[in-house]
Chain A
Amino acid sequence: MSNSATAMLVSATIEFLRAYPPFDRMEHEALQFLGEQVRLAYYPKGAQIVSPDAGAVELFRILQRGKVVVRHASEVSVIDQASLTLGPGECFSIGAVMAQRASTSCYTALDDVFCYEITAESFFALLQKSAVLNLFCTQYLASLLGQSRRQLQMQFSQHVAEQQTMNSPLSAVIKKAALSVTPRTPIRKVVELMAASSVGSMIIVDERQQPVGIFTQSDVLKRIVLTGVGLDDPIEQVMSKRPHTLPISANAYDAALAMAMHGVRHVLAVDDGGRLQGVVSERDLFTLQRVGLRQIRQTLDGATGIDMLLQASADVRQLSLNLLAQGVGAEQITQFISALNDALTRRIIALNLEHHDLYGIEWAWLSFGSEGRDEQTFSTDQDNGIIYICTDIMDREQTQLRLLEFARDVNDDLDQCGFPLCTGKIMASNPELCLTLEEWEEKFEHWVRTPEPQALLNATIFFDFRPLYGAFNLADRLRLSLLRRTRGNPLFLRMLAGNALCVAPPLGTFRDFVTDADAQHPGTIDLKKYGARLFIDAARVFAMAHDVAATNTVQRIKQSALLMAISADEAAAVIDGFNFIQLLRLRHQHAEQTQGRDGDNLIRPDELNEVERRILKESFRQARKLQQRLKLDYQL
C-alpha cells in the first residue's frame, strides 16, 4: 500500500524496533514486513495479557511501552522468585506462539502497556524471512531447557522444604492430635491412658482447653514411684506447671531453640486463643534433619551388619531426592546413585568376605546393565556377575563353588537392601555368570560371531560391564579382548546397530507424541524403552565401533563424537536430550514411590507442562538424529 500515513507509522515502528535485539540485527526486508504487519494494542495496569487458561496464544507481542510481569502459573503465591519482568523491546511468548499452544505463564501489565502484536501466521511468515529472528527464537527455546531444570528444582525444593527444613511451621511438624486430661483426673487414669495409647506425654488442660501442665513418661519414676504419691490423687499434684508453649505458626527452629534454652523435650503448640493444638517432641525435630552425604558414607563404611546397611540404603534414596531438589542434573544424580550403591554393594561384599574364605583366588565382582553404565535410577534390580582366574584346570569346579556360595549371600543381602533379585537370573550366584576370564571371553566371542537375537540382547546387557570389587585388572583385560573382537567384526556391529533401530522415537506425524505403543497403558510413553534406551543402544554401537572403553552413555557419546567428526555442540545437544529424559524418569519414579507404587517409567505427556513437552519432543528428535547416523553408517 503506497500510503504516506502508513509509511510514516511503519517507519516509526521500525525505528523503535531497531533499538532492541534481535530487531537491531534483523534483515531490512523482514523488519519492513514486521512493521507493516503489527497492530498496536493497549493494556491498562493490572490487565492480564496472556494466561494459561486463555487457550492457544495467537498473537506474538513486542512491548512498546510499559512493563509486563511474567509468572509461572503454578506459583501464583510465590511472587518474588518465580516472576520475571519484561520491558520495552522485549517479546513474548515465543514458545507458546511457535507451538500454537496455551502459555504456561501469566503475563500481566505492571503499568500501562502498549504493545505491538502480530498474528501467529504473520509471525511464521516472518520466521521464514528472517534468519536472525529464527536463530533468536531457537536459542530462546534452547534456554528453556535450563529454565525447565530450574522449575524442577523449585518443585523439589518445595517438597523438601515441606518435609525437611527447620523452617516448617509447627502445624506441619505435628503429626497427631495431643492427648489431654483435666487437672482433677486421677494419676492412675493418666498413666493407664498413656500406656494404652503408647505416648510419652500427657497434657493437662483447663476448661478452656488452655494447657496448664505436662506430665511425661520420665516423671512417672521421679514423681510417683520415688515420692510415693497416691495413684488416686489428681494429676495436677505431680505435673510440671506452666509448660512451654509456642504459637502454632512458629516454626521448627523456634521449637528447637525453646527446647535448647529451657532444657525441655516437649513444646506445646497453641492457637491464638491459647488453646492446645499439639505437642512437638525433640524426636519430631530430629527427623527433620537432613540426611547428609557424609553421614551416609560413614554409616555405609562403618556398617557392621545388614541392619545398618538397610538404613543406609533408605538414606541413599532420600539423599538422591535432596540432590534432585538442589538442582543437580540427571547425569550427576544417576552417577551419584550408582556411586552410593557401589559403596553399599562393596560394603555388603566386604561383610560377606568375613564369612567366606576366598583366599588365593584372583576374582572381581562385575556389574552389568544400568549399574554397569553408572546410570542407575531409583528403581533398579540386581545385574551382577563374577570373573576369576583359575590357573589349574583341576581346581576350577571347586573354586567356582566357593565363589557361588559367597555370591548367593551377597545377592540375598542386596535383595534385603532394596535391590530385588534379578528375575532374569543375571546374578553372580548363577553359575553361568560366575566364570573365569577365558570363559567370559569365549562367551563374548560367541555372541559377537553369531549375532542371533538372543546374543544381541545379551550384548546390550553384558557388554556394559564394570568392575566393582576385587581385581579390576581382570575386567580391563576382558574389555580389551572384547573391543578387539568387535572392532574387527563389521557384521556384528551392523547387527547391533540394527538391534538399536528396532524401536523408533515416539514422535507422531500429526500429534506430538505416539502414546499408544503399549496397549495396556494408553496415553503413556515408556521413557525407558522408548526414551533412554534409544540413546544407550546407539551410544553402545558408537563406542564399540570406535574402541571407546567407557560404558557410561554420556561418556560414550562424548568420546566417540570426537572420533566420528560430530561437533561438540551436536554432542552436547544429544546429551542434553538424554539427560532430560533421565531427569523425567527420576522425577516420575520418585513420585511413584512416594505414593507407595513400584517406580515404572510410564509418563503421560499430557501431564507435562508446555516447556517440558517441547523439550521432550526435542529430546526425541535428538534420539532420531542418533538413529539416522546409525542408518547412514551401517546402510540400514
Chain B
Amino acid sequence: MHWFSRLFGGARRVVELPPAQRDALAHWQQLPATDLNAAHQRCRYVVVDVETSGLNMRTDRLISIGAVALVDGRIDFADAFQIILRQDQVSPDANILIHGIGGSAQSEGIDPATALLSFLGYIGKAPLVAYHAFFDRAMIEKAMRQYLGVELGQTWIDLAWVLPSLFPDLSDARTNLDDWLALFAIENILRHNAVSDAYATAKLLQVAIAAGNQRAVVSPAAFVRLEKARRWMSQHR
C-alpha cells in the first residue's frame, strides 16, 4: 500500500476520525478566509515554532508546536499556544537534550489528532509566520495529512526571506535566527523551547512590520509578495 500511494503521489490519505473530531475539522474548514490585504495593525498573525525528533523532514516526527499571536501589532500573552504530541516512540537522547522535552513528557503528550485540531482551533485562518518556515510548514503539514487527512493550505510567511529584503544593508551573512535576534537585541528566554522561540520570532516580526510600514509593505499579502520576489531574485541571480 505504501508503494502504491507513493506511486500516485499526492493521493489523499483517508483518515477515519471520530464524529466530534470530524465536526471540529469541518468547523475549521468553514471559517472565512482572512483578508490578507488588511493592514498589519488590524491583523492577527500566528508565529509558529516546532520541535521535532530531528531535521529530516521525511523521517522525523513532530513533537511539539509553540505559537504566539501578534494581534493588532502587539504580542498578546493570553493568545499563546503550546502542545506536545504524544509519541509512540521516544526521540533519541541527543535530540531530547536540544528541546528539553523528556521521554515521559513525550509519551504523556496529547493524542496527535486532538493536538492538531486544537492547534487549528487556535490559529483559525490567520497567516502563519516562522523563521525558515519551510521546515515548520513541512512538519506541520505532514502531521496534518497523517493524523487528520487534511491539507493545511494556510498562508505562510518566512522571515528568513522577508527580513533581508527589508534590511538589505544588514543581511550579509545573516542566515540564522540567532544572528537577527542579536542584531535587534532580542533576548530569547529559552532557546529551543517552541514557545520561547516563537516569542522571539514574534518580536522579530514586530521589527519587520515597523520596517515594512516605512516601505509600503503594509499587509500580510505585501509580505508574501516581498518573499516571492526575493526567492525569484535569488534563483535568477
Binding site for B on A (CB under 8 A): 1, 3-6, 8-10, 12-13, 35-36, 38-44, 47, 65-66, 112, 114, 117
Contact = CB atoms under 8 A, between A and B. Distances in A.
B179 interface: no
Main secondary structure, interface of B, reads: mixed
B74 A39 contact: yes
Nearest to B184: A112
A40 B74 contact: yes
Contacts of A47: 210
A117 B74 contact: yes
Contact of B203 (A1, A4, A38, A40): A40
Contacts of B68: 5, 9
Given A42-B203, A112-B185, A112-B207, A9 B77 contact: yes
A43 B210 contact: yes
B77 A13 contact: yes
B199 interface: yes
B210 A5 contact: no
B66 interface: yes
5 contacts: A5-B81, A8-B193, A39-B76, A42-B210, A65-B186
A9 B193 CA distance: 12
Contact of B195 (A5, A39, A66, A114): A5
Contacts of A39: 71, 74-77
Nearest to B66: A5
A43 B214 CA distance: 12
A9 B71 CA distance: 16
B82 A3 contact: yes
B26 to A, nearest CB: 25
B209 to A, nearest CB: 8
B123 interface: no
Contacts of A35: 77
Given A41-B73, A41-B74, A117-B74, A6 B80 contact: yes
Sorted nearest first, the 8 A-B pairs with minimum C-beta distance are A42-B206, A5-B82, A5-B80, A40-B75, A39-B74, A44-B210, A9-B77, A5-B195
Contacts of A12: 189, 196, 199
> Considering residues A3, A13, A42, which has the most beta carbons from chain B within 10 angstroms of its beta carbon?
A42
B81 to A, nearest CB: 5
Contacts of B193: 8
A66 B187 CA distance: 12
Contact of B77 (A36, A43, A44, A114): A36
B211 interface: yes
A1 B210 contact: no
A4 B82 contact: yes
A58 to B, nearest CB: 13
Given A41-B74, A42-B210, A9 B203 contact: no
A8 B203 CA distance: 16
Nearest to B81: A5
B162 interface: no
A114 B193 CA distance: 21
Nearest to A111: B185
A66 B185 CA distance: 9
Contacts of B184: 112
Given A8-B196, A9-B68, A65-B185, A38 B82 contact: no
B206 A10 contact: no
A30 to B, nearest CB: 16
Contacts of A1: 78
B43 interface: no
Given A8-B82, A39-B71, A44-B210, 5 more contacts: A1-B78, A3-B81, A40-B74, A41-B73, A65-B187
Contacts of A43: 210
B211 A9 contact: no
B62 interface: no
B230 to A, nearest CB: 21
Nearest to B202: A40
Contacts of B129: none
Contacts of A112: 184-185, 207
Nearest to A43: B210
Interface string B178-205: 0000001111011001011001000100
Contacts of B78: 1, 3, 6, 36
Contacts of A9: 68, 77, 80, 195, 199
